[in-house]
Chain A
Amino acid sequence: MATAVVEPGERETYLNREYGIKSWLLTVDHKRIALLYLAGITFFFFIGGFFALLIRLELLTPAGDLVQADTYNKLFTMHGQVMIFFFLIPAVPAVLGNFLIPIMIGAKDLAFPRINLLSWYLYIIAGALMLYTILAGGVDTGWTFYVPLSTEFLKTNVITAAVAVFISGFSSIFTGLNFIVTIHRMRAPGMTWNRLPLFVWAHYATSIIQVLGTPVVAIAIVLVALERLFHLGIFNPTLGGDPLLFQHLFWFYSHPAVYIMIVPGMGIVSEVVCCFSRKRIFGYQAMAMALLGIAVVGFLVWAHHMFVAGISVYAALIFSLLSYFVAVPSAIKVFNWTSTMYKGSITYQTPMLYAFGFIGLFTIGGLTGLFLAALGIDIHVTDTYFVVAHFHYIMVGGMVMAYMAGMHFWWPKISGRMYPEGWGRLAALIVFIGFNLTFFPQFILGYMGMPRRYWDYSRAPEFQILNVLSTAGATILAVGYLLPMVYFLWSMRYGKPAPDNPWNAAGLEWTIPSPPSTFNFDEQPVVTWEAYNYDEIKGEVPVAQ
């Protein structure tokens, strides 16, 4: 029950205020909910990662000799579904966003704490249903659920997977809704829009996408489920339907979804680069507008996933053109981060190392997006490993690195402990090396013509050497991800206690203790300074322990 067990002399924090499982499962404290999410997404990250390892092991040899074809098809399907819906989409917003946004704007909690908890429960229910799908034999539609394959031809757990994704979508919608209202209505006095940290701007942009886009994929999934259950013909051409209509409805969300995944990471990178360069961001307005620009234009490019699907030539031309438009704000951000480092006073703590990695790898990932937007090239490389490499550069090289940067940067605030800096840097290096070795060869594989979702490539053994390199990289990458698991857990007990502001960073979250007390602020702050006021903050980043 709600027994507070605070020792005399010990400060009350959100962690020790109440103990007991009920105090966690019925909490409405945004910080505790963030940790509940952290447990969930970490769990699903390792499930999805495990599937990835099996995929890469199978691809070591051209023949399909590790698992059966159907099993392999389930592995890549569930790797995609788990990683996208249960890790990438919620990770930064639901963990770091939940924890930090109220604090960063000077509020005591999100606008709707109970809806926040509801979001978590929806996530867990969806996750449980996904787990059930996996244990009940899996699903093999591909994460894209294309029809008529998924409605008429597969006998696996399509409906349960679809419902799991549907429910997780509502978790995402409610989180986005909560953030938008919070950012609009709960900023402390003086915290104007122009003083918001870019982390908050990024989550605002992300939330807009979540709120507008997710319902469309929800209805697409409902229609697929209805079609499958009742043998309808909404998408089935033999019954009068059109399979391309599904693709349009699906990608209308799923393209903006990739911005849901990356934009919060961009917010993190801005915070980290500023802190470890001791500089305010170069071009604050441009950075904020770029975030909104990505969110808006991101809704206009979905059919670039369908250039060879049978759409008209004119539609393809328009979507290709728009896809180049959306690349511009992303490019601006990379240039601005780099410029922020100019004449800074830079140190190389783990968050900054991950931020460097993000800038470099997101650049490569983004540039390869330009290849895909070029219609003539896309004909050749779409549905090949080139695309796989492109999106993994953005999602893993970009997003997961940003997530790691954020976890390391704010770990002291969240847990009250420092992680071991030496191990942090080592893990960052291992991740960088492992990542590039895993995914760079896949660009080449794609251009050579290796299609996606191939269990067996024994008719094309020339693909093997690059696949072996890729698998080698994957094992290194796995080590790089296991290390933080271990040392974060270790630090919770043995890490050095963290001061309020271990990095001497700007931002309201660093003005309160680590870990924060339940209601964040003793008194509502009144903000009179600009964001990233590193000119006013005395001192550099304290030397690493």
Chain B
Amino acid sequence: MLQNMPFWPARASAAANNVDALFIFLVVVSGLMTALIFTMVVYFAVRYRRQAGRRAEQIDGSHALEITWSVIPFCVFMVFFAWGAVIYFRQRTPPQDSAEVYTVAKQWMWKFEHMEGQREINELHVPVGRDVKMIMTSQDVIHSFFVPAFRIKQDVLPGRYTVTWFHATKPGTYHLFCAEYCGTSHSGMVGSVVVMEPKDYEAWLTGGGNQPLAVTGERLFSELGCITCHRSDTPGRGPNLVGVFGKPVMLEDGRTLTADENYLRESIVDPSAKIVRGFKPIMPTFQGQISDEQLNALVAYVKSLGPSQSMPTGGKSMAAAPTETQ
């Protein structure tokens, strides 16, 4: 029903249903509240207009009323809060085995890199029915990845990764907007997300002949000399990276953290920030020597180093069976 309503944005993701439901609830409650206030103001203005012989009746107030119209709205607000919080929490927690797309935003374009190696500019092809996680960074200023049809938005920052995800439910082409003012062509940083049926998506994938992202990363890992210290066969001067992603890491100052994309990225561009316990701070920094895309490839490679894998097959690609809707 909503699909055909004029001025309603396309609904093409699992999240869109939840967001629209809360929105409609808010519209209804707000509409009722507005109607109530408007009606009362107009009614009082007319009913209690000045009339000869009648004076205004002074009423100091009413504690009961004050409490009532504080508590009841507050309870309603808590419903809004809780519902909104649930949606948000889900939106900020990408499912574990989402397919991944690395994104580099720059003035004024979107650069996407699929795990299979496809690169796209301003256009993002995804299959319907799969969880897709966007791992994003900016080359310059703050941008924001906004797909109205999916009801998602996430600022994209320089110097770190931010993450968002979606589960497309309807094939079609949808707007992609940059939603954080980023200079002259902010309004030109517009593209599309093309949602395809799985078999169409497979066909699109194979028409590339690209090197999977993690394989590119493996090549870089060797070319840049990472492999000399980070060995998996014998203990090296750097920590063994096999299976490191997603696991706790103990640092030499006693802190423990989970190795996520940002940790991997930071370890490459600012290695002295966090030293793994038992190792010396001898790793050189690669900041300024590799591009964001190369950084993405290295991160994708390290992520692919699972304990049972000997060859990188490219992290989570989308050319696998669709997962259930969240």
Contacts and interface: CB of A to CB of B under 8 A. Distances in A.
A and B, direct touch (CB closer than 8 Å): yes
Contacts of B84: 320, 373-378
Contacts, number: 273
Contacts of A334: 37
Contacts of B152: 379-380
B242 interface: no
A339 B63 CA distance: 13
B69 A335 contact: yes
B204 interface: no
Contact of A310 (B9, B69, B85, B160): B160
Contacts of A370: 26, 30, 77, 80
Interface string B148-183: 110111110111101000000000000101111111
B163 to A, nearest CB: 10
Contacts of A148: 140-142, 158
A367 interface: yes
B78 interface: yes
Nearest to A341: B44
A277 B48 CA distance: 8
Contact of A345 (B50, B91, B185): B50
Contacts of B179: 382-384, 451-452
Given A341-B41, A374-B26, A449 B185 contact: no
Nearest to A382: B153
Contact of B175 (A69, A356, A367, A459): A459
B181 A374 contact: no
A345 B45 contact: no
Contacts of A346: 44-45, 48-50
Given A313-B88, A348-B45, A279 B186 contact: no
Max count, chain A CB within 10 A of own CB: residue among B56, B59, B93, B186 = B56
A279 B160 contact: no
B70 interface: yes
Contacts of B233: none
A338 B41 contact: yes
Interface in B163-219: 175, 177-188, 190
A376 B158 contact: no
A539 B55 CA distance: 9
A328 B74 contact: yes
Contacts of A453: 181, 186-187
B279 interface: no
Interface in B126-160: 140-142, 144, 146, 148-149, 151-155, 157-160
Contacts of B60: 280, 282-284
Nearest to B30: A367
Interface string A443-462: 01001110111111101100
Interface in A114-153: 140, 142, 146, 148-149, 152-153
Interface in B218-262: none
Interface residues on A, range: 35 or more
B19 A449 contact: no
Nearest to A324: B77
A56 interface: no
B20 to A, nearest CB: 9
Interface string B50-89: 1100111111111001100110011001101101111111
A70 B86 CA distance: 40
Contacts of A375: 84-85, 87-88
A455 B187 contact: yes
Contacts of A338: 37, 40-41, 44
A308 interface: yes
Interface string A308-349: 111001001100110010011001101110110111111110
Contacts of B325: none
A466 interface: yes
Contacts of A283: 60-62, 65-66
Contact of B142 (A70, A149, A320, A327): A149
Interface in A69-120: 69-70, 73
B187 A376 contact: no
Interface residues of B, number: 83
A313 B94 CA distance: 13
A153 B158 CA distance: 13
Contacts of A317: 85, 88-89
A73 B177 CA distance: 17
Nearest to B191: A459
Contacts of A468: none
B180 A324 contact: no
B61 A376 contact: no
Binding site secondary structure of chain A: helix
Given A313-B92, A379-B88, A359 B55 contact: no
A449 B55 contact: no
Nearest to A352: B45
A27 B41 CA distance: 43
A363 B41 CA distance: 12
Given A243-B158, A324-B77, A451-B146, A284 B26 contact: no
Contacts of B9: 447-449
Nearest to A289: B66
A368 interface: yes
Given A310-B160, A359-B41, A378-B84, A69 B184 contact: yes
Contact of A540 (B50, B69, B153, B157): B50
A403 interface: no
A253 interface: no
A452 B41 contact: no
A332 B58 contact: no
Which of B51, B81, B187 has its CB near the most chain A CB atoms (within 10 A)?
A: B187
Contacts of B177: 449, 451
A378 to B, nearest CB: 7
A451 B143 CA distance: 12
A279 B22 CA distance: 40
A493 B56 CA distance: 36
Contacts of B190: 459-460
A244 B180 CA distance: 13
Contacts of A456: 187-188
B77 A371 contact: no
In this complex, the member of A310, A328, A376 whose beta carbon has the largest number of chain B beta carbons within 10 angstroms is A376
A373 B181 contact: no
B85 A534 contact: no
A341 B48 contact: yes
25 contacts: A140-B183, A146-B181, A154-B183, A243-B159, A320-B85, A324-B74, A328-B74, A331-B73, A341-B48, A356-B41, A359-B41, A360-B37, A364-B34, A367-B34, A376-B91, A379-B87, A380-B23, A382-B153, A383-B146, A444-B7, A448-B8, A449-B9, A449-B148, A453-B187, A455-B186
Interface of A: 64, 69-70, 73, 140, 142, 146, 148-149, 152-154, 237-238, 243-244, 277-280, 282-286, 307-310, 313, 316-317, 320-321, 324, 327-328, 331-332, 334-336, 338-339, 341-348, 356, 359-360, 363-364, 367-368, 370-371, 373-380, 382-384, 444, 447-449, 451-457, 459-460, 466, 534-535, 540-541
Return the 8 tightest CB-CB contacts between A and B, nearest first.
A376-B87, A449-B148, A237-B159, A374-B84, A375-B88, A283-B61, A454-B187, A278-B56
Given A282-B59, A283-B60, 18 more contacts: A146-B142, A148-B140, A153-B107, A238-B159, A278-B50, A317-B85, A324-B74, A328-B73, A332-B66, A336-B61, A344-B44, A345-B54, A373-B81, A374-B22, A378-B88, A379-B153, A384-B179, A452-B179
